[in-house]
Structure formats: structure tokens, C-alpha cells
Amino acid sequence: MRQLILDTETTGLNAKTGDRIIEIGCVELINRRLTGNNLHLYVNPERDSDPGALAVHGLTTEFLSDKPKFAEIAAQLKDFITGAELIIHNAPFDVGFLDMEFALLGLPKVSEMCFGVVDSLAQAKQMFPGKRNSLDALCDRFGISNAHRTLHGALLDSELLAEVFLAMTRGQESLVIDMLGDQQVAGSVSTSRVAFDDLDLLVLAAGADELAAHEAVLTDLDKAIKGTSVWRTEPAQAKGDAVAA
């Protein structure tokens, strides 16, 4: 599965009142592994940033004045994100700006280009209700260093969010994918599955000491309940499993 961790910086908070995108960062994951095939673009918004936004990202009008306009990078961005699943922290904000920029050029919405959008902020709120779930807070929670982050930057924030997202979603499914290494999973993005028959799983049998310790625990349980513990009971045989004598 191809996923893109995406972040934008903007001139302000409201795309509907004329604020524009000034920076885009995308970090690529294939089967939950960083590929290094990232996209980083600065954009000339043809307007000044609001003072509050400028204090956050530090990208001045002078710095952005010689950068390409969105119309000049739209095709490159569209090609890069098409077909991928996007992971965005507070996705409605970034998607709203991207949809606005694409609409000005007569291009489709993000939802029509991409396989889907995952809002990592919404995920974090479900995992940690009532707690701070900003990117900085999640970095602290998962032990991810962001000491080098003095200002917000789209690519740096995407790289940090990639680490946070992998930590948030590391479970049994990701363990299997990690075991597969860089092997490509057959099938389309929407139907790809791991072939467990192809995995060479190591089975470790209990040793004599471990068996003896287990037997001692069961014996103590039998004494405690003055009978036979459920762990010594053979499972009932289903009717369909009965073997004729």
C-alpha cells in the first residue's frame, strides 16, 4: 500500500477568505516503510502571510517571491498524490486548502484523486481522549525527538508525523508487514492482503523446566478450588467432529 504523510503551511487559517498554500511536504510510505521518495515544494501565494501564521512558519513574502505559483506545481503534486492514501494531522484543514487551490485551476478534489484520507488527529483523539494531541504532544508521548523543530515546516512536520503515525498504528497487522520487509504485497491497494502461508514462522516448544513450572501452577489452582481447574479439562467435542468407533 502506498501512503503519503502530507502537511501544508499557509498564509492564514481560512481558504475561503483568500488565504493560500505556501509550502507542501509529502513523505512516502510503501507497506509502512519510508522510501525516501518525498516531495517538498514552496509556493508563491501572491500575497502576504498573516502575522500569526508568519510567526508559526517563518516563511516571509520576500523568501517566497521567486518560488513557483501553485498553477506551476499543480500537475506535479496531482501526479504524486494520485492513487495514494493520505495521512494528515487535522485533515479537513489541509484538504480544504488543497481543494480550493485545485478548484481555482479546474482540477478535481483530493477525494477524487486519492485512495482515501486518514485524519491522524482524529485517530489520536480516539486513542487518547481528553489529552493534548498536537504533533508536539504526540512526539513527546511516543518518545520521538523534535528538538530540531523551532518553526513549523511542511516537510519536517510530515517526517515527524510519519514516525508518530507508525508508532500509533503499530499492532499485529504492522508486525506481519514488517516481517515481509520490502516485499510487495500482491493485489490492488483496496484488496491487498498478507499471504500467511508464505511466512516461515518459528514455533518454540516449552522446555522441561517450563513444563514443570506450568504443572506446579495448575496443581496450586486445583488445591485452591478443591477440584480440577478448567485448564486441565479437555474441550468438549463438537458433534461433527466425533469419530465413529
How many other C-beta atoms are found inside a 10 Å radius of the C-beta of residue 5? 28
162 and 225 assigned to the same domain: no
Q: Is the dihedral of CA 34, 36, 37, 43 positive or negative?
A: positive
Range of the domain at 175: 2-195
Regarding whether 215 and 183 lie in a shared domain, the answer is no
- Cα–Cα distance between 88 and 154 in angstroms, integer? 11
pLDDT of residue 234: 63
Instruction: Specify the pLDDT at position 221.
Output: 76
Same domain, 214 and 178: no
Element spanning 163, H or E: helix 154-168
DSSP run (H or E) holding 114:
none
Measured distance CA(158)–CA(237) in Å, rounded? 54
**Same-domain check for residues 8 and 75:** yes
Q: Is the pTM of this model over 0.75?
A: no
For position 33, what pLDDT does the model report?
94
* Residues assigned a catalytic role: 152
Total domains in the fold of the chain: 2
In a domain, 7, yes or no: yes
Per-residue pLDDT in tens (0 to 9) along the chain, 245 residues: 899 999 999 999 999 999 999 999 999 999 999 999 999 999 999 999 999 999 999 999 999 999 999 999 999 999 999 999 999 999 999 999 999 999 999 999 999 999 999 999 999 999 999 999 999 999 999 999 887 666 678 999 999 999 999 999 986 344 444 444 444 443 333 434 445 555 555 667 788 888 888 888 888 777 777 777 767 766 555 555 554 44
Measured between alpha carbons, how far apart are the two ends of the chain, in Å?
52
- The distance between the two most distant Cα atoms of the chain, rounded to a whole number of Å, is 90
- What is the domain-level CATH number for residue 22? 3.30.420.10
How many Cβ atoms sit within 10 Å of the Cβ of residue 231? Answer: 10
Same domain, yes or no: 134 and 170:
yes
Does 112 lie in the same domain as 190?
yes
- Residue 200, helix vs strand vs coil: coil
Residues 234 and 178 in one domain: no
**Dihedral over alpha carbons 177, 180, 184, 189 (to 10 degrees):** -20
Question: Would you state the pLDDT for residue 192?
Answer: 41
Tell whether 200 is covered by a domain: no
Query: What is the C-alpha to C-alpha distance for residues 59 and 42, in angstroms, rounded to an integer?
Result: 9
* Residue with the three cell numbers 518560488: 67
In three-state secondary structure terms, 119 is: strand
In sequence order, which residues have a C-beta less than 8 Å from that of residue 157 and are 6 or more positions away? 7, 25, 89, 135, 149
Residue 145 has a pLDDT of: 87
Asked if the structure places residue 201 within a domain, the reply is: no
Q: Which candidate, 101, 99, 100, 123, places its Cα nearest to that of 111?
A: 99
What pLDDT does residue 174 have? 40
Cβ(22)–Cβ(59) below 8 Å: yes
Same domain, 175 and 226: no
Residue type, position 80, single letter: F
For residues 51 and 132, is the Cβ–Cβ distance under 8 A?
no
Check residue 212 and give its pLDDT.
Answer: 85
Contact 158, 7 (CB under 8 A): yes
Question: Can you give the pLDDT at residue 42?
Answer: 97
